[in-house]
Amino acid sequence: MHPSALLYALSLIPGIGNKTLRILLEHFGSAEAIWEADEKSLLGTNSLRPKMITTLIQGRQTIHPDQEWEKVISQGIDILAFTDISYPRLLKEISDAPMILFTRGNYAWEEKPLIAIVGSRKFTSYGEQAAYHLATDLASAGYVIVSGLAFGIDSIAHKAALDAHSETLAVLAGGVDDVSIAPQTHLPLARNVMHSGALLSEYRPGTAVQEGTFPARNRIVAGMCLGTLVVEAPERSGALITARLALDDNREVFAVPGSIFSPLSSGTNNLIKAGAKIVTSVQDILEEFPLPEKNTSSSQNTLFPKKRTLTREEEKILSFLSHEPVHVDKIIKATKLETSSVSSSLALLEIKGSIRNVGGMYYIRT
């Protein structure tokens, strides 16, 4: 029998949730001792009602730990129990840590520096660039990027980590099986995450995402990480819930400043006013959690670094562009260059990765 099979079996008993299991573990010291405890010993906890004790005893008689364990493992899903040595250390510290985590992927569950990147499902081009560059730099520095696989900033952070050939963890608000992954359009992204990291959830396979499961998911994101970086968030946002939970867990909270005119930056700007550390480059985070074995100078000194050698025309165009979209006609007028020269220079700048066409012949710096 797997050492964690008994704790998993106990979690399957109706009415025996995280809080009760934690009380039992603190009292008896192990899942084995809980499984074998008689009624008198269970009454000795002074925290369980007789009805719950009866439910526990009856549940032990009807549940077969080995069989239940195999049902999960046979689906290609692993179980990480609170009592496992590889259970995330920081997550174990929070008061409502999940007793059971379901995981899928190729991630080695050992002590690693984790940082969460969260933000709005809706985002601006500025927020997209900030999330991508910061996630890339943090991944390159040695951090494992943690987020929620949601639309918007979450998926951008995962993709950036993958593009940097680094590990990333996606915490889900439903089961980790293919059918339960939400949104379903992110199933290809989820599979890429599994290749270079893992999906994880406290919800059993087959559990659909519900409105109430998101805040519970957010506590795991915040609890398992050294800090949480919020990129863009309106005043009412799940990302702000994650930030608040991080503060409750005595974790660091970072925020990227945004325009005072953008509703998507109101939440992050308020976080900064409330004391979150302002982030304009990866160095702002590395100052708090330095990883000296990694080289984090060079392109990581600024949030939006300029990388490649440019021609005079390209530099002129690039100096006019910002992280707000500008139409090609305005570029031609401002630079006073020939239309053909602007068109060819824009194409070359895109190839070099210095700019991006965001549609409708509008360009931004990257």
Whole-angstrom distance, CA of residue 155 vs CA of residue 148:
8
* pLDDT (0 to 100) of residue 302: 45
Whole-angstrom distance, CA of residue 322 vs CA of residue 292:
32
Counting Cα atoms < 13 Å in the Cβ hemisphere of 70 gives 6
Listed in order, strand segments (DSSP E) in 183-341 are 197-201, 227-230, 252-255, 277-278, 326-327
What is the pTM assigned to this prediction?
0.80
- Residues of the chain predicted below pLDDT 50: 292, 294-307
* pLDDT (0 to 100) of residue 2: 84
Domains annotated for the chain, with CATH where assigned, are: 1-74 (1.10.150), 114-301 (3.40.50.450), 312-365 (1.10.10.10)
Whole-angstrom distance, CA of residue 234 vs CA of residue 217:
19
* pLDDT (0 to 100) of residue 293: 53
* pLDDT (0 to 100) of residue 305: 43
Q: Integer distance in angstroms from the first to the last C-alpha of the chain?
A: 53
Only one residue has tokens 């526990």, namely 56
| Residue 40 main-chain phi, psi, to 5 deg | -65, -45
* pLDDT (0 to 100) of residue 140: 92
* pLDDT (0 to 100) of residue 46: 78
Q: Could you give the 3-state DSSP secondary structure of residue 35? A: helix
Question: Model confidence over 114-154: pLDDT tens digits?
Answer: 999 999 999 988 899 899 999 999 999 999 999 999 999 99
Question: Model confidence over 241-295: pLDDT tens digits?
Answer: 999 999 989 999 999 999 889 999 999 999 999 999 999 999 999 999 876 454 4
Whole-angstrom distance, CA of residue 111 vs CA of residue 86:
8
Cβ(208)–Cβ(235) under 8 Å?
no
Whole-angstrom distance, CA of residue 146 vs CA of residue 105:
14
* pLDDT (0 to 100) of residue 169: 98
